[in-house]
Amino acid sequence: MAMLVSRGRLALGLDVERWLAVLASHPADRFLVAQARALAIPLISADSKIRSHTHVNSLW
């Protein structure tokens, strides 16, 4: 990605570092939800996206 952006072949609405951070945060949320579901444990989170998952109990 960084190479394509630096060569002008790809335009992102954010700088590459911020774009990668946003991208990484989404799979991380899903991983946390999946792990809590697999272990049948509640999640403690202030994140409304995580708390909105119906497949896992969340506390906050």
The C-alpha atoms of residue 47 and residue 38 are separated, in whole angstroms, by 20
Per residue in 4-36, pLDDT tens? 888 999 888 888 788 888 888 778 888 888 999
Give the per-residue pLDDT at 39.
Answer: 93
Average pLDDT, the chain: 85
Per residue in 34-50, pLDDT tens? 999 999 999 898 888 88
> What token pair was written down for 23?
């991208």
> What token pair was written down for 24?
């990484």
pTM assigned to the model: 0.55
> What token pair was written down for 59?
């506390």
